[in-house]
């Protein structure tokens, strides 16, 4: 029999706060974390707004010498992991270290460190390059640094599937535990690329909102006035455990991961397939994996990036999967408040989905003021909603046509 997998710890670093309580409270209150970019002078950029992590003090988690060996995406991952482990009451010891793995991805990794080092190279020559540049920048070092910091000796992996990264990392961790490769996994995504190259690149694609005068109104998924996504940063890390072991140690269980679907569009490098084919198959695969029907789902945390094409196609896909029931499912995009955390989005949003299941409380989609006739679902507009959440889907879709859906449900004793 396949082993059951549960979520016992959550750690968050986000534009809404530096931990789970602050982020969750802001989400339920419908507060936006979007503001003017302060990481660099963005005056000449078409988009000058972002969801920045504010007041983060890395020295709460690492001493100055160690922190300088890493870029911020690793800092955020370590901070969120520490919170997740403490939240779960899970200590990594000699007895369980080899059974505890790490699977943390990032969409882009240490791009700011690459930019800074290249500038130093051009100004002062190759002797000024730090010996820690490569290990500080490469994508798998968030997982590597977490493993080293906390002593996790099980599977140590990273992946990059653009904006689906966090969901894929959690989904693959779910499979590892279910199939017996590990008993516990530290899983999720991390991202910190509010930098000139990243913002400039997305501006060149015309993917970002240019509502610079009203930052908090700029991310408006499914609204007729949407004009692109808002870049964000942070980390979302979960502790997943084999269910019997978690119950035996008396762990608090937020939700059970019951299903996972992953597909490819085979269509376009950045646009979703017009019929939503990949998203449809990912959601259906997650439902089949969990042995649940569409009517069992009470909430969908949508990918909902606030791009004109992406939002429309996701609604089309949800309607295809859920049929007439689609209009009765609560569906919200928390990117309306956090911005789009790229590779960290799935980690944050799976955490939000688990909290919604645990608390029977659904965060809203804010900035819903102009209904789009092509986006006509129940988006929990502007105010959170207390409602029973027996099971929920979290969708993440990425460049390259990569899709991942996770299905979470209430934990039951049998």
**244/371 same-domain check:** no
**194/314 same-domain check:** no
The answer to whether residue 304 is domain-embedded is yes
The answer to whether residue 39 is domain-embedded is yes
**277/349 same-domain check:** yes
The active-site residue out of 168, 340, 358, 411 is 340
pLDDT in tens, 217-231: 999 999 999 999 999
How confident is the model at residue 379, as a pLDDT? 98
How confident is the model at residue 228, as a pLDDT? 98
How confident is the model at residue 413, as a pLDDT? 75
The answer to whether residue 28 is domain-embedded is yes
| Tally of structural domains, the chain | 2
The active-site residue out of 75, 168, 203, 303 is 303
340 has catalytic annotation: yes
In the chain, which stretches have pLDDT less than 50? none
The answer to whether residue 265 is domain-embedded is yes
Residue ending a domain, among 191, 216, 248, is: 248
**403/304 same-domain check:** yes
**312/199 same-domain check:** no
163 has catalytic annotation: yes
**347/242 same-domain check:** no
Distance in angstroms (rounded) separating the CA atoms of residues 192 and 108: 8
Of 397, 78, 87, the residue nearest 240 (C-alpha) = 87
**106/211 same-domain check:** yes
**73/112 same-domain check:** yes
**234/267 same-domain check:** no
**235/263 same-domain check:** no
pLDDT in tens, 107-146: 999 999 999 999 999 999 999 999 999 999 999 999 999 9
How confident is the model at residue 280, as a pLDDT? 98
The answer to whether residue 149 is domain-embedded is yes
Residue ending a domain, among 221, 248, 275, is: 248
Query: Each residue of 242-275: b (16+ CB within 10 Å) or e?
Result: bbebbbeeebebbbbbbbbbbbebeeeeeebbee
Distance in angstroms (rounded) separating the CA atoms of residues 395 and 25: 22
303 has catalytic annotation: yes
Q: What CATH number does the domain containing 385 carry?
A: 3.40.47.10
The answer to whether residue 254 is domain-embedded is no
The answer to whether residue 154 is domain-embedded is yes
The active-site residue out of 163, 203, 331, 375 is 163
Residue ending a domain, among 248, 269, 290, is: 248
**242/360 same-domain check:** no
* Residue range(s) defining the domain that contains residue 221: 5-248
The answer to whether residue 412 is domain-embedded is no
Of 199, 216, 209, 201, the residue nearest 230 (C-alpha) = 209
**349/376 same-domain check:** yes
């Amino acid at each position: 029999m396949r082993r059951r997998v549960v979520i016992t710890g959550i750690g968050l670093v986000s534009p809404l706060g530096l931990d789970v309580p602050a982020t969750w409270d802001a989400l339920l209150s419908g507060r936006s974390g979007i503001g003017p970019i302060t990481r660099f002078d963005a005056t000449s950029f078409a988009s000058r707004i972002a969801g920045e992590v504010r007041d983060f003090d890395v020295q709460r988690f690492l001493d100055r010498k160690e922190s300088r060996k890493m870029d911020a995406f690793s800092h955020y991952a370590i901070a969120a992991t520490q919170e997740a482990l403490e939240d779960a009451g899970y200590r990594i010891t000699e007895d369980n270290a080899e059974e505890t793995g790490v699977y943390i991805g990032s969409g882009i990794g240490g791009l700011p460190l690459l930019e800074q080092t290249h500038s130093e190279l051009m100004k002062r020559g190759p002797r000024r390059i730090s010996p820690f540049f490569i290990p500080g920048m490469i994508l798998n070092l968030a997982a590597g640094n977490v493993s080293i910091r906390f002593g996790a000796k099980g599977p140590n992996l990273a992946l990059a599937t653009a904006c689906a990264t966090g969901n894929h990392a959690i989904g693959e961790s779910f499979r590892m535990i279910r199939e017996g490769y590990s008993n516990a996994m530290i899983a999720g995504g991390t991202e910190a690329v509010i930098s000139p190259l990243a913002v400039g690149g997305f501006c060149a694609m015309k993917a970002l909102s240019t509502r610079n005068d009203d930052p908090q109104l700029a991310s408006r998924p499914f609204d007729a006035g949407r004009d692109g996504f808002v870049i964000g940063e942070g980390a979302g890390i979960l502790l997943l455990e084999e269910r019997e072991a978690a119950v035996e140690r008396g762990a608090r269980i937020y939700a059970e991961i019951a299903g996972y679907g992953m597909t490819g569009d085979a269509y376009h490098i950045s646009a979703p397939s017009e019929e939503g084919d990949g998203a449809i198959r990912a959601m259906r695969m997650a439902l089949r994996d969990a042995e649940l029907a569409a009517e069992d789902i009470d909430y969908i945390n949508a990918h909902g990036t606030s791009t004109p094409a992406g939002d429309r196609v996701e609604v089309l896909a949800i309607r295809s999967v859920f049929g007439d029931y689609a209009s009765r499912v609560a569906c919200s995009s928390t990117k309306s408040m956090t911005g789009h955390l790229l590779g960290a989005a799935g980690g944050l949003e799976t955490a939000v989905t688990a909290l919604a299941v645990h608390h029977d409380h659904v965060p809203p989609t804010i900035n819903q003021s102009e209904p789009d006739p092509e986006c006509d679902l129940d988006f929990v507009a502007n105010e959170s909603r207390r409602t029973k959440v027996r099971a929920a889907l979290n969708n993440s879709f990425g460049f390259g046509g990569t899709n991942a859906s996770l299905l979470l449900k209430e934990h039951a004793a049998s």
